[in-house]
Amino acid sequence: MTNLTSRRGLLFGAAAVSAGAVLTGCTSNETDDGGDKAADTQPAADDKPGKPVTIGYAGPQADHGWLNAVNDQAQKRAEKYSDVTLEVTEGSNDTAQQIGQIETLINKKVDVLVVLPADGKALTQVGLKAMRAGIPVVNLDRIFNSPQAYRCWVGGDNYGMGLNAAHYIGEKLKDKQGAKVIELAGLDNLELTQQRTKGFDDGLKNYPNIQKVARQAAEFTVESGQAKMSQLLQAQSQFDALWNHDDDQGVGALRAIEQAGRDDFLMVGGAGALTAFQAIKADSGVLKATVLYPPTMAASAIDLARALGQGKGISGLAEFEIPSTVTCYSAVVDKGNVDQYMSTGFK
């Protein structure tokens, strides 16, 4: 994902009302007896049933463990609320098909849309169409190329993934002179892969004793992870740490490592698969940690959509409305905290 600075979700016409721009929860600063008091804040979204909200959800085709978990998180979160009806499209990686699915939701006049686009740029126009129709859009993960196409963006921090992976490895190797690390990246034509690598490289600059000696790009699949990891192992007879961008391809990488009989380095994964959590907890192999790209962002998107539909803010924030941008933190999960995250691991 693009590293976002401040983005203002611009609303068109009636969308401002749907998004809670008209503050119904504010009251006068005057008390009944004429005295002053602090202004009441807009009611925050909570678990108590409120105004019924129909949320249209257009997610991806579940052809990857993380994407399947995203869809699952969205649906399970919606089931938690008795006041939410979720209209779910059939997941698609075909942009034309997904545009058609979203247009169907617009025609049904859902209250809010949550969209994880197959291609953010290609679906920008349909995001704009929804906003102009008065339907606020929560843009999930892959971002539209205009901030006018969504009211709120929620997603992961790819740069932060690399940065935190580098910090974890750096702290483990900070006392070793001439330490060497290698990187098993994802698809190189994706901006998210480039950002993960940039974060990793920038993080390693804090540890002058560590040198990155090799990098291979895989394709986020078990097969590619195994093939590319085998190449790295053949080319690098000695290194101290590996950062793998994706836990799905990490399954293949671990197979290659086991087949090669290597256990002379530590491995850090990425995303937060259940298999990775289990391996970290068992602590019987090279995998010692993984850096989250949490699929729970989809559950948060449902929370935000519900708040938008009910014209509410977020508990814990002083603002009357939800933020325009929510970036999830890329926490490092290791043996010390893996139990806390086990329930979020995706299959």
Q: What are the tens digits of pLDDT across the range 261-271? A: 999 999 999 99
Q: What is the pLDDT at residue 6?
A: 28
Task: Give me the chain's average pLDDT, please.
Answer: 88
Per-residue confidence band for 34, with pLDDT thresholds at 50, 70 and 90:
very low
Q: What is the pLDDT at residue 47?
A: 79
Q: Distance between CA 268 and CA 290 in Å, rounded?
A: 5
Above 70 in pLDDT, residue 303? yes
Per-residue model confidence as pLDDT tens digits over 90-114: 888 899 999 999 999 999 999 999 9
Write out the CATH class of domain 158-293+333-344.
Answer: alpha beta
Above 60 in pLDDT, residue 64? yes
With DSSP H G I counted as helix, E B as strand and the rest as coil, what are the percentages for the chain, rounded to 5?
Answer: 40, 20, 40
Per-residue confidence band for 123, with pLDDT thresholds at 50, 70 and 90:
very high
Provide the greatest CA pair distance for the chain. 81
Q: Which residues touch 148 (CB under 8 Å, ≥6 apart)? A: 9, 10, 12, 128, 131
What are the residues facing 139 on neighbouring strands? 115, 153
Domain limits, CATH 3.40.50.2300, in the chain: 15-156+295-316, 158-293+333-344
Strand 287-292 and strand 332-334: pairing?
A: antiparallel
From the number of C-beta atoms within 10 Å of its C-beta (0-12, 13-18, 19+), residue 51 rates as: exposed
Above 80 in pLDDT, residue 186? yes
Write out the CATH class of domain 15-156+295-316.
Answer: alpha beta
